[in-house]
Each structure stands twice: as C-alpha cells, then as structure tokens.
C-alpha cells in the first residue's frame, strides 16, 4: 500500500521528477563521455608518446574536478529529491507508518531513481559519444580512430561511481528522514532560509578570498616556481577564493546597492533582494560553476590553440617542406600548382654513395635553416628562419643531409653528403634537387601529399619508414596526428564541462523556482505589469549566469599561461573560442530563462 | 462625492469546471454595493462561496456572468497592464498568511506598491515612514519578516495594503493566523483606518468576533446572499457580536 502511495505521488509530481531525472541522466551521460577517454589507455597512449606528462596533467586535473563536481551535483540533486518528498514522508509518519518502513521506502525510491537515471545516462552517453566522435573524426582525420564511443570499462566505471554515490545518498536520506521530527517534515515548506552575516566575518571572508585568488593567479603566472604542484595549488586556491569572493563581495555589493534610490524603482529592489538571498544559498554552486566555466572555456581555447599550433610546430624541423630529386614531369606539374614561399634548385654529383654539391651555388641561392632558440620550454616560439652562410660548408652539408642523406641511406644509396668548392676530382652523374617551402603548409597539404607519394615511389625500399622522410611535410603529418588527438580531447573535455555546468546551473535555479511561484503571484496581485515580472526574472537569471562567467573568464586568462610551453602564444586569437563559447552560454541562458518563466509565471490573466 | 459607492456587484455568477467536466456553481446570483467609508464583512461556512466572491471583487478571477464596478469602472473588462495598474492604484489586500516577501525588509515590503508605480525614492521613504508612524511599526522597518511575530507581520501587510491610499481594502481572513490579542489589535487598527481615512474595507471571515468589528455583514449561503445585518449606531460591539452569533445559529439550520 505504501509503495502504491509513493508511486502515485511520483506520478502526481512527474514534472519535478522528470527534471530531477533528466538532470541525473545528463550528469551520468557526461561522466560516461569523460570515461570513454579517461578509461581508454590505448587512446591515451597513441596521443601520449611525446607529450604524455601534459596529458597526465590535463587528465589528473579534469578527473579530480569532474569527480568533485559530480559529488556537488548529486548533493544538490539529492537535496532537491528530499525537499520534494519530505512532506509526503511526514504525512506517512503522521498516519502511523513505522519509521523502519518509511526508511525502506526512501532507500528504495532513491536507489530506483538513481539506477534508472544512471542506465539512461549511459545509453545517452553512448549516443553522445558516437555523435561527437564521428563529428570529430571527420574533422581530424585518422587521429581519433583509437577512440571508441562504446567502451565497456567506461560503462563499468560510470555504474560503479554513480551507483556507489546513490547508495551513499540513499543511506543518507534514510538517516536524515527518519531522524527528523514529524512536524518539521510537514512544515518544511514554511521554513525560512533567512540568515544575516556579521560585517566582521564578511570582511575576513573578503580578505581570505582575494588573498587566495592572488596566490592562485601567481602560481599560474609563474608555473616554474612550484612545478608539478602548480595545478593542485591553483585548483584549491581558486576554488576557495571564488567561494569566499561570492560569499562576501557579492553579498556586500548587493546590500550596498540596495541603499541607492534606484533600488526603489519598480522591481529593482525585489530583484536585488532575490539575488542576495540566492547568493547566500548559491555560493557553493556558483563556485562550482565558475570553475567549470573556466575549465570548459580553457579546454576549448587550448583545443583551438592546439589546432593553430600544428603548422608552427611542424615547421620547426626544417626550412623546407619537401625536397625532390630530379622532378618528373608529373611532379613538375604539381610543383607549379603550389603557392611557394621559397623554391631552391641545386645540382649535385652522385659519386657512388656520395652526393657532392658545389659550394658556389649557395652564394647565389642561399640555403635556409631553422634556428631554435635557447630558452627552456619555449623552443617552438623561438624558432626562426635563417640563411646558412655559403662558406660554412659543414653546416650546409649536415642540413642538406637532413633532407637527402638519411632518407636515402636506408636504401643503401647514400652515406655521405658533401659541399665543396672544388668538384674537379668528383666523377659521376649530375642530378638536380628542388627544395620547396610553401606559403601555407595546411592549404598546400593535398598537393604536397601527392608530391611526396611520387617521390617515395622512387625509393621503394624506404617507402614505409616515415622517419626517413625528413622535411616539414613529414613532421606536419606526425604533428597533426598528435595535436589533433590532444585537440579532440580538449574539446571533448570542454564540452563535458559545459554540459555539466549547464545541467548544474539549471538544476539549482529551477529548484528555486518553486519558492518563487508564490512571490511572483503576490507581485501580480499587488498590480505588477506582466512585462516587469518577466524583466525581473530575466535580469535575475542573467546575473546568476553572469557572475560565474566573469570570474571564470578571469580564471581562464590567468590559467592559459600554464599552456605557454605547449602553445606558442596561448593568448593569440582568443576571441574565436570566447565568442563560440559565449554564444553557447547565451543560448543556454535564453533556454533556461524561458523554462523559468513558464514555471514561475504559470497563471496568466486573460 | 460623499457616499459614492466604491463597489457595485451586479448579478455575479461563477461556474467552475470546463466543458467536459462536471460543473459546479460557486456563486449563483449575487448583487450588492459597498460605499465610501463602509466596513463590510462577508461571512459564510466553508464552501459557501465567500472566497469566490472575494476573488471576483478583487479581480483575481473573472465571473461567468455579471459585472463588478469599482470606483465607477467595470473591472471585469480590464486586462493586462490596465488591470495591473488598477490593482496597484485602487486596491489594497491583506491575506491570512500575510504574503510578505521574506527577502525584503519591512520598509521594502511596504514601499513595494509605490516602487511599482515608479514613485521617486525620496517620496517612497517619506510615505513609508508616515504610514509606519500611523500604524506604530517604525521600529520594525529594518527587520525581515522572519524576525517578526504574526501580529507584526500582519501590521506590515496592512501598511503595504494602505500605502497607495486605495479606494478599498480587501481582507481575506486577516486574523486567521493570529492569536486573539494580535487579532484584536489588528481589528482595532482596521476600524481606526476605516474611521479616520474613510477607506472602505471588505473582510471575508468565518469568525464572528472579527465580523463584529464591521458595520455591515453579508451572509453567504450556497452561493447566494442569505441575510444582511447592519450594526445600529447605538449598538455596542459585544451586542453586535451576540447578534451575529444568533444569526449564525439560525443560519446553519
């Protein structure tokens, strides 16, 4: 009978349950999505050969944060569930149901809801991963092939973590509910959440918050001071700093604003008061959202930055994209199609396994090299193009052998490249070699690919050994695989955080909507225009969205500094990821706004 | 214009239930008027239709048939912003559960209707202080509703209802949630407002004691006006109270 009652009450409030349920499902879907990367070692390894400790960084950071946020999220979801049900439980107890039975009912309810949401979430997550990965594979080519949308370990992890958390929540709910006095359960809705902080405590919180933020920003600006501890310090200081800042500053600011006369115009005072009460209540969730916002925006920015780095990084290995010995007419045709920055043609004499260049041709046609700077950790940025002076024949020879020597060595054709002034002693066939540097390696990629293929066909023995084909084109291909893997991961992380943020914020704001219904109802009875009610809601939610966004952007601006070793200039072209992110965030705001107004302003006089 | 009627209700009828649903007639045919400075009580058992009547008069709901004129204007025809403005300017409300916004201070709660009308802040402050003095609640102005007792909350609600000098003050069981001392004080206050400011008051109540403060009582039974009592000038309040009890006694039969 009791279970029937419970079922009927769920049916009665199915809309609230749907909200709770979908929130939980989305949360577990995102967790699954995340685990498809985190629990796929093969995928991690294919990306991780060169920059493995960086991936470890990103992932350690991401996993800790995601775990923490999941906990916070579940905490909110759970308290929402409790507040929804406690009146009913109180009623059952009042009607004489034994506490033990109630406890069992609560436990069962939480578990059923939780496991259903988790299963649905996993299904949703698989679909989401499929959609995302096919999208990303389209963009990135082969790089993401090691990624699997359907990944058993990820399913297991999601089940273990979520069911474990729900088990905790269910036990917690049971204990809380059976310990509370009946009257408190019955009148839960009428209890006020009013509390006022003392100015002194606010001041202490303010100073602590600012101090923590300063420390956090400092360690991110100077990541070399604390090395591997930088991330941990930054996460902790920024999280708590954000928390105190919201608690003290925003609260004080709102209180201060209420003193001005504009606070008495229209619904301004009401909106301010709503915010002040919300902020006290929302501090934790806004902190979480700020961190998520920063993570999501940071990940997407870094991901897009990585994409730009492909060209720069691949160009470090040499001044020329390709070298072609005795171009065939077919190759010549392709070369003519390229838009070139440099094209150098030299002749050499093939003397057995020796290639000998006449030194004087480098005077009229200087050969270029890439000079790498000496600053630690910043090699990529310091790379510069330089002319090799014609008299430095050794340097010329070693640079030339980078393109010609080693690659042909394997096939047993070449073991030495020489540059000398006097060629009279050398006998052999004279051949021609063309060095090409395109203006834009990415745009020229299709033609370069064909050219390289034709060139490789001349040396079948060395064909399948990519490391033997030096030149920027070759490193471009390798770097693209590596970086696009990282980029894929960063973007996926970013999307995960964004989705998590979205559902978290939605949940918190919507769970407040129930207490708002009578407030807006009263305002209407007092004779408030419908348009002012809508304006008030819009503004209130906008500020709740805006606060984490502003602080999150600041966090990101400082945090990008951490990636200076990976990205040549992490602050270049920031506007693009910021605008994309901003648009998604804005769309999300508008959506939530609509839902909120629908819930709160339900009854409209006709 | 003295003794002009503030409310005129003509043949009010209210039927609940949509087309396919079972119909329920809450009000059958109710006509009456309230004049300036009147103090009217509406009494009746649960389900008699008194709350429905109040909702019609206070423009919270629309009648199925009939009209309500307040200060000469047919409010059943008002819509949207015009209706909102009309409420803001002409009417005041006090509710059983106070309906104060718990996130605003008393002063902000009282000043809210004025803010909605876009009055300048200085003027709002002055009016709020003036009305607070009149209701002896100046020391409560900076407090939040959670810090106040029920009687104090209802005084704040009263101040909010009166702050825009309405033509008519509606009370929906205003003493319902108060203890007897607070209830007595509130009713005294209403009586005083009625006499001094000449604000018309319409109370809905099922409590004979509250009703005895009124000058005129309309009894509603099964959606119709069953009886009307008027307190004579010479009659004392306890006398009138007794008369109401007697009337209720016969009325229940």
- Residue A331: closest CA among A399, A431, A433, A401: A433
Three-class HEC string of A578-590: HHHHHHHHHHHHH
For chains A and B, CB pairs below 8 A equal 90
CA closest to B59 among chain A residues: A525
Last residue of a domain, one of A448, A470, A492: A470
pLDDT of residue A101: 78
Chain B residues within an 8 Å CB radius of A264: 111, 114-115, 119, 121, 124-125
pLDDT in tens, A305-360: 777 778 777 877 778 888 888 888 888 888 888 888 888 888 888 877 778 888 88
Helix, strand, or coil (residue A553): helix
- Predicted confidence at residue B167, as pLDDT, reads 86
Asked whether residue A257 is domain-assigned, the answer is no
Pick among A268, A269, A601 to test the B interface (most B CBs inside 10 A):
A269
Q: Are B232 and B58 in contact (CB under 8 A)?
A: no
DSSP state of A210: H
Topology (CATH) of B37-60+81-251: Rossmann fold (3.40.50)
How many structural domains compose chain A? 3
Percentage of chain A exceeding pLDDT 90? 2
CA A223-A224-A230 angle, to 5 degrees, is 45
Tell me if chain B has a CB within 8 Å of the CB of A197: no
C-alpha torsion sign, points A234, A239, A242, A245 = negative
Per-residue pLDDT at A51 exceeds 50:
no
B88 in contact with A, Cβ within 8 Å:
yes
Report whether pLDDT(A509) > 80: no
> Of residues A605 and A53, which shows the higher confidence score?
A53
Asked whether the predicted pLDDT for residue A525 surpasses 60, the reply is yes
Residue A502, judged by CB atoms within 10 A of its CB (0-12, 13-18, 19+), counts as buried
Beta bridge partners, A388, equal: A367
Structure letter (DSSP) for residue A194: -
Same domain, A352 and A449: yes
Read off the tokens for B90.
Answer: 């002409």
Are residues A52 and A98 both part of a single domain? yes
pLDDT band, residue A197 (cuts 50/70/90): low
What's residue B1's pLDDT? 38
pLDDT above 80 (res A284): no
A113 and A155 fall within a common domain:
yes
Give the list of residues 6+ apart from residue A127 with CB closer than 8 angstroms, or none. none
Tell me if residue A369 falls in helix, strand or coil.
Answer: strand
Quick check: B82 contacting A, CB < 8 Å?
no
Q: Could you give the ipTM of this predicted complex?
A: 0.80
Per the CB < 8 A criterion, the answer to whether A469 and A456 are in contact is yes
Compute chain B's Rg from CA coordinates: 18
Beta strand ranges found along B46-124 (DSSP E): 65-70, 73-74, 91-95
Token readout for A88 is: 């009913």
pLDDT at residue A266, rounded to an integer: 76
Residues A328 and A303 both lie in one domain: no
Distance CA A393, CA A401 (A): 12
Q: What is the mean pLDDT of residues B21-35?
A: 86
User: How many other C-beta atoms are found inside a 10 Å radius of the C-beta of residue A597?
Assistant: 17
Average pLDDT over residues B131-141: 88
In a domain, A236, yes or no: no
Retrieve residue B240's tokens: 């009138």
Residue A410 has pLDDT above 80, yes or no: no
CA distances (Å), origin A384, targets A53, A124, A318, A370 = 27, 49, 10, 5
Residue-range domain boundaries for chain B = 37-60+81-251
Return the pLDDT at A64. Answer: 64
- Closest-CA residue in chain B for A532? B116
How confident is the model over A424-444, as a mean pLDDT?
A: 84
Domain carrying residue A546: 262-318+476-601
- CA dist., res. A274 & res. A269, Å (int): 8
Distance (Å) from the C-alpha of residue B146 to the closest C-alpha of chain A?
7
* Tokens describing residue A463: 């064909």
Rounded Cα distance, B9 and B66, in Å: 8
With a CB-CB cutoff of 8 Å, which residues 27-66 of chain B face chain A? 58, 60
B158-204 pLDDT, tens digit each: 999 988 888 899 998 888 888 888 889 889 989 988 888 888 999 99
Would you state the pLDDT for residue A139? 55
pLDDT at A423 over 50: yes
Neighbours of A364 (CB within 10 A): 7
**pLDDT on residue A123:** 92
Weakest mean pLDDT among A356-365, A498-507, B95-104, B239-248: A498-507
Indicate the residue among A161, A191, A221 that finishes a domain.
A191
For A132-191, the pLDDT digits (tens) are 777 666 655 545 566 777 888 888 888 888 888 888 888 887 887 777 766 666 555 544
Give the per-residue pLDDT at A605. Answer: 42
A67 pairs with which residues across the strands?
none
A471: left (phi over 0), alpha (psi -120 to 50) or beta: left
Q: Say whether both A436 and A413 belong to one domain.
A: yes
Q: Are residues A69 and A129 in the same domain?
A: yes
Tokens of A37: 């990367």
**Cα angle A137, A139, A563; round to 5:** 100
Token reading at A248: 């003290």
Q: Does B120 touch chain A (CB under 8 A)?
A: yes
Same domain, A17 and A157: yes
Q: A549 and A452 in one domain?
A: no
Residue A392: which of A409, A412, A369 has the closest Cα? A369
Phi, psi (rounded to 5 degrees) for B130: -60, -45
Chain B residues within 8 A of A277 when measuring between CB atoms: 103
Which of A451, A470, A489 represents a domain boundary (last residue)?
Answer: A470
Q: What is the mean pLDDT of chain A?
A: 77
CA-angle at B173, arms to B210 and B203, nearest 5°: 65
- The residue that leads in pLDDT, A266 or B11, is B11
Q: Are residues A352 and A308 in the same domain?
A: no
Specify if A419 maps to a domain.
Answer: yes
More confident residue, B22 or B215: B215
- The rounded distance, in Å, linking the Cα atoms of A326 and A588 is 59
CA angle centred on B165, ends B162 and B167, rounded to 5°: 105
Q: Mean pLDDT lowest for which of A114-128, A206-220, A280-294, A562-576? A: A562-576
CA A452/CA A320 separation, integer angstroms: 13
**Would you list the DSSP string of A297-365?**
HHHHHHHHHHHHHHHHHHGGG-S-SEEEES--HHHHHHHHHS-EEEEEEEEEEEETTEEEEETTHHHHS
pLDDT of residue A588 exceeding 90, the answer is no
Confidence of residue B214 (pLDDT cuts 50, 70, 90): very high
- Going by pLDDT thresholds of 50, 70 and 90, the confidence category of residue B129 is very high
- Which comes out higher in pLDDT, residue B206 or A87? B206
Whether residue A458 sits in one domain with residue A590: no
The confidence band for A606, taking pLDDT boundaries of 50, 70 and 90, is very low
Do A325 and A431 lie in a common domain? yes
**More confident: A499 or B164:** B164
Quick one: A297 and A332 in the same domain?
no
Q: Does the beta-carbon distance from B103 to A261 stay under 8 Å?
A: no
Residue with tokens 């302003």: A601
Percent of chain A with pLDDT over 70: 78
Kindly report, residue by residue over B74-86, the tens digit of the pLDDT.
888 888 888 888 8
User: What's the pLDDT tens digit per position in A52-73?
Assistant: 555 555 555 666 666 666 676 7
Of the ranges A47-61, A238-252, A269-283, B201-215, which is most confident?
A: B201-215
Q: State residue A144's pLDDT score.
A: 55
Mean model confidence pLDDT for chain B: 86
């Amino acid at each position: 009978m009791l279970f029937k009652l419970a079922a009927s009450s769920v049916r009665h409030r199915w809309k609230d349950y749907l909200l709770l349920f979908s929130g939980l499902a989305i949360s577990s879907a995102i967790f699954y999505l995340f685990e498809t990367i985190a629990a796929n070692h093969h995928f991690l390894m294919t990306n991780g050969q060169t920059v493995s400790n960086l991936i470890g960084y990103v992932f350690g950071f991401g996993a800790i944060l995601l775990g923490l946020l999941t906990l916070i999220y579940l905490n909110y979801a759970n308290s929402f569930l409790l507040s929804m049900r406690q009146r009913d439980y109180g009623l059952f107890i009042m009607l004489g149901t034994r506490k033990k039975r109630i406890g069992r009912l609560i436990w069962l309810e939480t578990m059923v809801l939780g496991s259903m949401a988790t299963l649905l979430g996993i299904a949703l997550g698989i679909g989401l991963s499929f959609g995302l990965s096919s999208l990303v594979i389209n963009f990135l080519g082969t790089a993401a092939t090691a990624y699997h949308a359907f990944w058993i370990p990820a399913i297991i992890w999601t089940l273990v973590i979520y069911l474990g958390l729900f088990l905790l929540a269910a036990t917690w709910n049971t204990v809380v509910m059976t310990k509370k006095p009946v009257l408190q359960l019955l009148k839960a809705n009428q209890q006020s959440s009013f509390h006022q902080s003392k100015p002194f405590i606010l001041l202490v919180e303010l100073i602590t918050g600012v101090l923590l933020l300063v420390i956090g920003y400092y360690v991110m600006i100077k990541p070399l001071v604390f090395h591997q501890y930088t991330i941990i310090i930054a996460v902790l200081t920024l999280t708590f700093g954000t928390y105190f800042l919201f608690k003290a500053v925003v609260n004080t600011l709102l209180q201060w604003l209420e003193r001005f006369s504009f606070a008495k115009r229209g619904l301004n005072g009401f909106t301010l008061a709503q915010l002040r009460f919300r902020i006290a209540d929302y501090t934790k969730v806004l902190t979480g959202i700020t961190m998520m916002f920063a993570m999501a925006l940071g990940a997407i920015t870094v991901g897009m930055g990585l994409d730009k780095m492909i060209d720069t990084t691949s160009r470090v290995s040499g001044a020329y994209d390709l070298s072609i010995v005795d171009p065939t007419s077919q190759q010549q045709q392709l070369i003519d199609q390229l838009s070139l920055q440099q094209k150098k043609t030299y002749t050499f004499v093939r003397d057995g396994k020796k290639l000998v260049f006449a030194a004087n041709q480098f005077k009229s046609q200087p050969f270029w090299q890439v000079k790498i700077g000496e600053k630690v950790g910043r090699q990529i940025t310091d790379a510069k193009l330089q002319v090799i002076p014609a008299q430095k024949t050794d340097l010329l020879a070693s640079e030339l052998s980078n393109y010609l020597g080693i690659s042909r060595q394997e096939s047993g054709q070449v073991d030495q490249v020489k540059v000398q002034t006097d060629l009279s002693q050398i006998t052999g066939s004279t051949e021609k070699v063309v060095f090409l540097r395109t203006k834009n390696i990415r745009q020229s990629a299709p033609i370069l690919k064909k050219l390289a293929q034709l060139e490789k066909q001349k040396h079948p023995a060395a064909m399948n050994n990519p490391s033997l084909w030096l030149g920027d084109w070759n490193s471009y291909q390798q770097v693209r695989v590596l970086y696009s893997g990282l980029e894929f991961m960063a973007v996926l992380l970013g999307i995960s955080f964004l989705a998590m943020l979205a559902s978290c914020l939605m949940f918190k704001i919507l769970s407040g909507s129930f207490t708002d219904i009578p407030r807006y109802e009263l305002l209407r009875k007092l004779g408030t225009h419908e348009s002012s009610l809508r304006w008030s809601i819009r503004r209130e939610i906008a500020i709740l969205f805006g606060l984490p966004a502003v602080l999150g952007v600041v966090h990101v601006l400082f945090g990008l500094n951490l990636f200076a070793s990976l990205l040549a200039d992490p602050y270049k072209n920031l506007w693009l990821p910021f605008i994309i992110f901003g648009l998604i965030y804005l769309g999300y705001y508008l959506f939530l706004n609509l839902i909120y107004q629908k819930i709160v302003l339900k009854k409209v006089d006709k | 214009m003295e003794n002009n009627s503030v409310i005129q209700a003509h043949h009010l009828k209210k039927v609940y239930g949509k087309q396919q649903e079972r119909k329920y007639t809450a009000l059958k045919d109710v006509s009456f008027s309230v004049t300036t400075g009147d103090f009217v009580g509406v009494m009746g058992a649960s389900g008699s239709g008194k709350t429905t009547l109040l909702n019609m008069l206070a423009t919270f709901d629309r009648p199925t048939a009939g009209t309500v004129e307040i200060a000469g204007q047919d409010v059943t025809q008002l819509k949207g912003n015009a209706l909102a403005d009309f409420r803001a300017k002409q009417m005041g409300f006090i509710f059983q559960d106070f309906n104060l916004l718990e996130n605003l201070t008393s002063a902000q709660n009282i000043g809210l209707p004025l803010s909605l009308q876009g009055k300048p802040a200085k003027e709002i402050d002055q009016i709020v202080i003036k009305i607070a003095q009149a209701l002896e609640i100046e020391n409560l102005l900076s407090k939040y509703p959670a810090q106040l007792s029920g009687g104090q909350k209802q005084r704040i609600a009263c101040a909010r209802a009166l702050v825009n000098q309405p033509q008519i003050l509606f009370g929906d069981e205003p003493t319902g949630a108060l203890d007897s001392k607070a209830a007595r004080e509130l009713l005294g206050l209403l009586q005083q407002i009625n006499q001094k400011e000449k604000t018309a008051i319409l109370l809905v109540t099922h409590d004979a004691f509250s009703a005895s403060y009124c000058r005129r009582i309309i009894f509603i039974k099964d959606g119709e006006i069953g009886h009307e009592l008027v307190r004579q000038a010479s009659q004392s309040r306890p006398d009138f109270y007794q008369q109401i009890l007697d009337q209720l006694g016969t009325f229940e039969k």
